[in-house]
Amino acid sequence: MQQEMKYIYTVYQKGSFSKAAESLYMTQPALSISIQKVETEIGMPLFNRDKKPLELTEAGKLYIEKIRQIMHLENELAQQLGDLTSLKTGNLRVGGSHYFNSYILPPVIADFKKKWPGIDLQLTEAGSNELLDMLKEDLIDLTFNCTPDPHDKLRRVPGFKDTILLAVSTRFPVNDHLRKAALTTSDILSHRYLEENCPAVTMEAFADTPFILLSPGNNLYSRSQILFQEAGVIPPVAMQVSQLVTAYHLAQSGIGATLISDWMVIGKHPEMVYYKIDSPLASRVFDIVTPGKNYLSNAQKAFIALFQEYYKNSLL
């Protein structure tokens, strides 16, 4: 991709010349001159400079769309050329949330790098919605998502399943009334919560317990709201945070109860008890998501196959 196109696309992404210049490690005047040169050549502006953040003009929208097409072709060419080396060289850009990158991906990435050390695996961390946008813009090669959208035209295959549990500090009095349903760390590690005869709870019992919730837009936030509505309760909110891992650490400090994934319970936590949730919403299937129109490289196929093999038992 030509340098000027890279400059224009970065300004579009950052929404300002100053932020784009900082990202490109160049001065703002130099960046402005480069883009003005392109605008002079085509005879019309690409950005409406009166808007903050900057907005694309009609010419700018067309230009960005063509840049995306060029980026897609360049990436596809690189993947196909890399496939000629039989996974000896190439690159793979994986996107995951903080939860995924901390608890789910490490063993798969370690095995992948051991099997194919010549593949440059790049890991990006962001929210699930942002990762889907990055996938659509060809900025990453695959990600993970548990909220299918039949209209997004992305390629999805099942990856793994997790179970949502309620994590509560032992200092909260609600635990005194739910001793038969309370689960220890050992119970979680032995998967007792997956047994049919394991007692389950609804949110009704925790109507007066403060909660640490995730921010709106997060899949687990949406599920929590439905669980509260079904139980007919509006619990007190102690805090709202953007990351599932952060919510769990705060819950361990006794700030409030929170919903977590079963894969996050590792080690010993005598200060916590856990509860199985009586709802089908407590089960989530995460898809491995790749661009629908893109060529699927050997590196993508190898990573998907390795991930599915590693987590195949979770889908049973």
Residue 84: what pLDDT? 66
CATH of the domain at 257: 3.40.190.10
Whether 72 has a pLDDT exceeding 70, the answer reads yes
pLDDT tens, residue by residue, 242-287: 999 999 999 999 999 999 999 999 988 999 999 999 999 999 999 9
191 and 295 co-located in one domain:
no
| Boundary of a domain, candidates 64, 98, 113 | 64
8 and 49 co-located in one domain:
yes
pLDDT tens, residue by residue, 83-96: 767 788 889 999 99
pLDDT tens, residue by residue, 138-174: 899 999 999 888 888 899 999 999 999 999 999 999 9
pLDDT level of residue 81 (50, 70, 90 thresholds): confident
Residue 199 lies in a domain: yes
Alpha carbon distance 158, 146 (integer Å) = 9
Residue 69 lies in a domain: no
195 and 85 co-located in one domain:
no
Residue 261 lies in a domain: yes
Could you write out the DSSP letters of every residue in 254-280?
TS-BEEEEGGG--S--TTEEEEEESSG
Whether 101 has a pLDDT exceeding 90, the answer reads yes
153 and 297 co-located in one domain:
yes
Residue 225 lies in a domain: yes
Degrees to nearest 5, angle at CA 93 with 8 and 89:
110
210 and 252 co-located in one domain:
yes
Mean pLDDT throughout 209-235?
A: 95
152 and 126 co-located in one domain:
yes
Residue 50: what pLDDT? 84
pLDDT tens, residue by residue, 40-71: 888 989 998 888 888 899 988 998 888 888 88
Domain with 199, as residue range(s), is 161-284
Using CB atoms within 10 Å of the CB of residue 161, give its burial: 0 to 12 exposed, 13 to 18 middle, 19+ buried.
Answer: middle
Alpha carbon distance 30, 53 (integer Å) = 20
187 and 280 co-located in one domain:
yes
